[in-house]
Structure 1
Amino acid sequence: MKFAVSLTMERFSPDMPMSKVKSNLLELAQMADEGGFETLWTAEHHTIECTISPNPLMTLTWLAQHTQQIRLGTSTLVAPYWSPIRLAGEAALCDHLTGGRLEFGIARGSYQYEFDRMAGGMQQQEGVAYLKELVPAVKKLWAEDYAHDGHYWKFPLAAGVPKPLQTPHPPIWVAARDPGTFDWAVGIGANILSTPLSAPAAEIAVLGEKFRKAAADHPEVPRPRLMMQRRTCIYDRPDEWEVAVRHAIDYGRAFENLFQNIGTVENGFPEAVPYESVKGKDNYNPESIRKNLMFGTPDEIIEKLEDYEAAGVDQYCLGLTFNLPFELQKKTIKLFVDEVMPHFAERDRAKAVAVGR
């Protein structure tokens, strides 16, 4: 199992200057690069300060100039916001500007608040139809001249310019939770980005089974990779969990606002849905959050990661963007690099030696 980190510029107060937001992201990205993480993922979002990433391809191009090895992925581009020609060209150019380190992640989109402003008010669930038309068109534009006559886009014979640096194209990843999306994505040869959100550990196995079934149903394509992401915070002592849980709850209340479109957003800052309206939900129970999310000491994190490994996860991604204090974000990366990653590296070496005997 490899490891990745999800990072995005985030701002929860107008008192936080963008210069600091930018420098924080860069420092974390360089720590991840130097620490040996496989991939850095960053999302696309619009009009909200808590996720400042109107074009993740631009962010990744910038980060590529300040990192050496880490792969750079979009988690995720939002299909209904793009056109095939524009996306094919911009992603391919990003692949060149990052030295062939682009991982191309795409999704239907999630926040209804954004859809009301970026996609004419369409329901977010309809984004999957855009996704299924867009990705095959982009792949064809990456390969050769192509004319498209679809439901959402139509254009005469055109070239994707430039062509990607990676051949035949950057690895494609599709965000999925429902079986239909798993099946479609695996069928076109895409890898899977998924998350158990705040659900109990049993959800990890459920998502792993959806992936295994999709792979078994498509023997005609090589087995793709499965990435799972969970909010992550690592600390030295077990009694330090309260800070992480408090920030997860507050961030979740803002997420409910954007996802369900049930609150207000002022100057890009979403209000947190009143705790009274969500406290009955188990995923807002502090003890459930502490148990379900990737919160814990290094030893506790290692034990929790075994559930992901058992589910067939190829890459576990540390979700660090939930208004966690910057020093705690840095501490999480450092403890993961110093105490968690060596555990798995040593075990992998032992397995390799055993196989070689």
Structure 2
Amino acid sequence: MEFGIFLNGFTPGPAAHDRASEHLVLKREMALAIEADKHNWKYAWFGEHHALTEYSHMSAPEVVIGYVAAKTERIHLGTGINSLSPRKEHPVRYAERAAMMDHITEGRFEWGTGRGAGSHEMASFDILDKDSTKAEWDEVVREIVRMWEQFDYGHDGESFTVPGKRSIHPKPYGHSHPPIWVACGNPATFAKAGSMGIGAIAFNFEPIHNLKGRIEAYKEAAENPVEIIGDYQNNNVMMTNGVVCLSDRGRAREIAMSQGGGYLVTLVNLYHDTMPKSPDAITWPAPPVDLRRLGGEELLDQLIAGGFLLCGTPEEVCEQVEAYRTVGCDQLVFGLNGGMTHEENLEMIELFGDKVIPEFDKNPEQSTKAMRRSGVRKYPELNEPVDPNLRVEVLPASAILPLRD
């Protein structure tokens, strides 16, 4: 099992309306990804959300990825997720940016895709029917691979057009393309991702054990995929959850029970209308659940045992992670707890990375990197032969390759 962190630009309270505070949040999250690179974490995922005040101020993950890539060496950096509606942005731009990030990271980019967080976000782009984005994603995700591979690309589809024949640049780094992922919620989406040969990103606020059936649906479909839309199969399920891992057990449990730690969930319930609300269904601005008043330490132990979160010292968390293997996830990713200070988040990244990850991930190489090596071109470089009368006789000194005979 591999591990990653998820960064979303979470800016709770008055800070969401203060530019200096917003800047500090973004700089801190980049610092956490840079720190993770030093402590065995294999992935850092960066959200893309729009107009979701407090919940996420990370609207341009590709910019953040470029910054973090320059300051890291090993960790893979992914979009979590690019929403692909052509009404939001022309698909050519998705292809261009993903390929550019692939170059900047030298093959460490992971392309997470999806339909968007919900109606509030998509209405920012005058998309008022969120269900219509499903068919758009189906069309766009397949065409991006063609844009990456062909030098005479054209498309006349239901949701977008690229007239004539043109080459979209740059092409991805190396011989293949970034791993493709899709955000999944219901069992049908998991099975669809498996049948298409792409990774599944499970954004979920249920107990992690509740996802077992959905993972099984994915893996069953992945055994005999109907259509591998890329150069290779990315057979991977990434699951998100929460973790509080500190050397001070008492402090870790105090954070887990703090009322402010549930603030993020109230925002999820407010904005995300594409997936079920959390079990408590508390929606901002109503105050989060107070675990101390409901059951305190005993309730916290029940939540940990039920798979709602991991909490404790590295030794305790190791025992808790062991149980997570049974659900079959390939990558376990943690959103950072809103109840922790920046310094405590840094401590958690170091402790979990140095003490927990080596117990479960013995392979220094990312699974997606190994899968990518097996990539075989899906589309021909050219749909039609080059004009035989075309002749170029002079190149500048900066030309890297000579003219062909």
Same fold, judged at TM 0.5 (above): yes
C-alpha distance 141-168 of structure 1, shift in aligned 2 (>3 A): same
Aligned-pair CA distance for 1:293: 2.7
Structure 1 match to 2:238: 227
Deviation at 1:76, TM superposition (A): 0.8
Residue 226 and residue 169 in structure 1: after superposition, are their counterparts in 2 closer, same or farther (change >3 A)? same
**Deviation of 1:161 (Å):** 1.1
C-alpha displacement at 1:146, in angstroms?
Answer: 2.1
Judge conservation of contact 1:198–1:292 (CA < 8 Å) in 2.
no
CA 257–289 in structure 1, closer or farther in 2 if over 3 Å, else same:
farther
Higher mean C-alpha displacement, 292-301 vs 326-335: 292-301
Matched with 1:135 is 141
> Is 1:60 equivalent to 2:78 in the alignment?
no
Partner of 1:38: 42
1:193 and 2:195 matched:
no
> In structure 2, how many angstroms separate the alpha carbons of the residues matched to 1:174 and 1:97?
22
Cα RMSD of the aligned pairs, angstroms, is 3.0
Q: In the alignment, what sits opposite 1:29?
A: 33
- Number of residue pairs aligned between Structure 1 and Structure 2: 333
In structure 2, the CA distance between the partners of 1:104 and 1:254, relative to structure 1 (3 Å rule), is same
| 2:3 corresponding residue in structure 1 | 3
Which amino acid in structure 2 is aligned with residue 89 of structure 1? E
Tell me how far 1:338 sits from its aligned partner. 2.7
Higher helix share: 1
Report the more deviating stretch, 40-49 or 14-23. Answer: 14-23
User: How many angstroms does 1:172 deviate by?
Assistant: 0.7
Q: 1:304 to 1:166 in 2, by over 3 A?
A: farther
Distance in 1, Cα, partners of 2:191 & 2:216: 12
Change (3 A) 1:179 1:201: closer
Q: How does 1:210-225 map to 2 (within 5 A)?
A: 210-218=217-225, 222=233, 224-225=235-236
The CA deviation string for residues 308-338 of structure 1, in whole angstroms up to 9 with x for no partner, is: 3222222111211646422221222122023
Task: Using structure 1 for the length normalisation, give the TM-score.
Answer: 0.83
CA distance, structure 1, for counterparts of residue 337 and residue 50 of structure 2: 16
Equivalent residues of 1:9, 1:52 under 8 A apart = yes
SS of the residue 2:162 aligns to:
strand
Structure 2 gaps, min length 5: 275-282, 365-405
Question: 208-217 or 128-137: which moved more?
Answer: 208-217
- 1:80-113 CA distances to partner (integer Å, 9 max, x unpaired)? 2332211111111111122221110111112321
Q: Which has the larger radius of gyration?
A: 2
Per-residue deviation at 1:347? Answer: 11
1:244 corresponds to: 256
Match for 2:106: what amino acid?
Answer: G
Match of 1:334 in 2: 350
Q: Retained in 1: the 8 A contact 2:81–2:113?
A: yes
Q: Verify the 8 A CA contact 2:112 2:183 in the aligned structure 1.
A: yes
State the identity as a percent. Answer: 27
How far, CA to CA, are the matches of 2:120 and 2:324 in structure 1?
A: 32
User: How far apart in 2 are the matches of 1:214 and 1:105?
Assistant: 19
Equivalent-residue separation in structure 2 for 1:85 and 1:190 (angstroms): 20
- Asked whether 1:99 is paired with 2:106, we answer yes
